[in-house]
Amino acid sequence: MSVWDALVGQGPVVDTLQRAISGQAHAMTHAWLFTGPAGSGRSVAASAFAAGLQCAQGGCGVCQACLTARAGTHPDVTVVRTEQLSIGVDEVRDLVRRAAMSPTLGRWQTLIIEDADRMTERGADALLKAIEEPADRTVWMLCAPTADDVVVTVRSRSRHVGLVTPSQAAVVQLLTGEGVAPDQAEFAARVSQGHIGRARALATKPEAAQRRRDILALPAQLTGLGPCLKAAAWAVTTAQAEAQAATAPLDAAEQDKLAAVLATSSGKAARGMAGQMKDLEEQQALRLKRFVRDRLDSVLGELTSYYRDVLVVQMSAQAGLVNQDCGPSIREVAQTTTAEATIGRIDAIVECRRAMMSNVAPQLAFEALMVSLA
Ligand SMILES: [Zn+2]
């Protein structure tokens, strides 16, 4: 079980990283940019690379260095995994200070920024200086959906590693290797379209599979204004409930930690802590908002795949349906509407996603969407 086994269907990426680790001429550099579609494994690749650099065997997967690097407890592997909407200049400066330190265990000082696309402009500036004059044993690993999501000055000084959407066969192999029954793995790999985390959730969590069915049942329910508003309200309240369930334990742990610090300080320091508690609550509110948006984005993903299937039937294309289990409903919609209308509906989903990105209230964006889909 080497660290590379986790990189499903990414042969060329594994080759590149292994060459860098083995120290081949010009194969190593101080800044790397990992890009790829959601679920392709950008942060998994960065983490494997970090482990490979710390491991005496280049990523055996079983030694202390590999295990701690991947668990996030290795002293020379720093992982920035933000739940917040942005990574600010103060956070980047902390990293830059750490990057300047010699590695504790003598190999590499590695820093992984999982959402480099969320760096503020000032944050990116602070990072740029560190990348331009890197410490000898320091390696930066930035992850982002595409190279365009990272400011050009940082991008141009980083070596680009592009992950691809893994094939369905590769995802099936991964899931069956993890003990999922073959037909279940086949189904999950197909409907998740190469998103590994999503495939794993669908294959192993009944509530994830149920939620997908609920979303795909929406189009058939949109028979008038009332049902459209009801569908929008359902999508938003479900996303909020899911986001709250996911963030509440994190919120509580963070507040307890800060309260413990507050309890041991007194006077002036304690007054400063009250401000910190307020800052924390603001950050937590932003995180909740982001979780809600992520959940709603996955609803849009499901609806897109549904109408893509409708279009496949309407165009009599040879491609198979992604959502085979919804075949009857998809064929009925296909027969009672036109391909032009379907394209209009897919456009409406794109428009909804754009509205959400520009901070339109989710409820409004989804109401407009459901009316367009009806
Ligand atoms: Zn190892």
287-310 pLDDT tens trace: 888 889 889 999 999 999 999 999
Highest mean pLDDT among 101-110, 117-126, 230-239: 230-239
Domain presence at residue 173: yes
53 pLDDT more than 90: yes
Q: How far is the CA of 174 from the centre of ligand 1 (A)?
A: 21
Q: How far is the CA of 71 from the centre of ligand 1 (A)?
A: 13
Q: How far is the CA of 169 from the centre of ligand 1 (A)?
A: 28
Q: How far is the CA of 2 from the centre of ligand 1 (A)?
A: 8
Give dist(CA 213, CA 191) in Å, integer: 11
pLDDT-based confidence at residue 270 (cuts at 50, 70, 90): low
Query: Which of 334, 299, 337, 297 lies closest to 317 in space, CA to CA?
Result: 334
Residue with tokens 């329910």: 221
Domain presence at residue 321: yes
Give dist(CA 51, CA 68) in Å, integer: 8
Q: How far is the CA of 53 from the centre of ligand 1 (A)?
A: 9
User: Can you give the pLDDT at residue 49?
Assistant: 97
User: Can you give the pLDDT at residue 294?
Assistant: 86
Q: How far is the CA of 217 from the centre of ligand 1 (A)?
A: 47
Residues 11 and 84 in one domain: yes
Residues 131 and 158 in one domain: yes
pLDDT digits (tens, 9 = 90+) for 222-257: 999 999 999 999 999 999 999 999 889 888 888 888
Q: How far is the CA of 46 from the centre of ligand 1 (A)?
A: 15
Q: How far is the CA of 67 from the centre of ligand 1 (A)?
A: 7
Domain presence at residue 213: no
267 pLDDT more than 80: no
Q: How far is the CA of 54 from the centre of ligand 1 (A)?
A: 7
Of 22-26, 28-32, 121-125, which gets the smallest average pLDDT? 22-26
Residues 60 and 157 in one domain: yes
44 pLDDT more than 70: yes
**DSSP-H helix ranges across 178-326:** 182-192, 196-204, 206-216, 218-221, 225-264, 267-314
Q: How far is the CA of 49 from the centre of ligand 1 (A)?
A: 11
Average pLDDT score over residue span 178-187: 94
Q: How far is the CA of 63 from the centre of ligand 1 (A)?
A: 4
Give the sign of the dihedral formed by CA 347, CA 351, CA 352, CA 356: positive
Residues 347 and 321 in one domain: yes
pLDDT-based confidence at residue 271 (cuts at 50, 70, 90): low
268 pLDDT more than 70: no
345 pLDDT more than 70: yes
Task: Read off the CATH number of the domain in which 18 is found.
Answer: 3.40.50.300
Q: How far is the CA of 245 from the centre of ligand 1 (A)?
A: 36
Residues 198 and 127 in one domain: no
Q: How far is the CA of 81 from the centre of ligand 1 (A)?
A: 23
Average pLDDT score over residue span 127-131: 92
Q: Which domain holds residue 189?
A: 168-204
Domain presence at residue 344: yes
pLDDT digits (tens, 9 = 90+) for 152-173: 999 999 999 999 989 999 999 9
Domain count, the chain: 3
Average pLDDT score over residue span 211-221: 94
User: Can you give the pLDDT at residue 25?
Assistant: 76
Residues 151 and 174 in one domain: no
Domain presence at residue 329: yes
Residues 182 and 114 in one domain: no
Nearest 5°: the CA angle 198, 202, 207 is 115
Q: How far is the CA of 6 from the centre of ligand 1 (A)?
A: 14
What is the share, in percent, of the chain residues with pLDDT greater than 90? 66
Backbone φ and ψ for 43, nearest 5 degrees, come out as -75, -25
85 pLDDT more than 70: no
Q: How far is the CA of 68 from the centre of ligand 1 (A)?
A: 10
Q: How far is the CA of 69 from the centre of ligand 1 (A)?
A: 9
The β-bridge relationship of strands 31-35 and 77-80 is unpaired
Q: How far is the CA of 13 from the centre of ligand 1 (A)?
A: 19
User: Can you give the pLDDT at residue 83?
Assistant: 64
Give dist(CA 298, CA 287) in Å, integer: 17
Domain presence at residue 219: no
Q: How far is the CA of 249 from the centre of ligand 1 (A)?
A: 33
Q: How far is the CA of 258 from the centre of ligand 1 (A)?
A: 36
This prediction has a pTM of 0.76
347 pLDDT more than 90: yes
- Tell me how far the alpha carbon of residue 159 is from its chain's centroid: 21
Give bridge partners of residue 110 from the DSSP assignment. 77, 139
Which has more pLDDT, 317 or 117?
Answer: 117
Average pLDDT score over residue span 250-266: 81
Average pLDDT score over residue span 124-137: 91
Q: How far is the CA of 107 from the centre of ligand 1 (A)?
A: 13
Q: How far is the CA of 3 from the centre of ligand 1 (A)?
A: 8
Q: How far is the CA of 52 from the centre of ligand 1 (A)?
A: 7
- Nearby residues of 295 by Cβ (< 8 Å), 6 or more positions away: 238, 239, 242, 243
20 pLDDT more than 70: yes
Residues 177 and 66 in one domain: no
- Nearby residues of 123 by Cβ (< 8 Å), 6 or more positions away: 86, 87, 88, 89, 91, 92
Residues 14 and 157 in one domain: yes
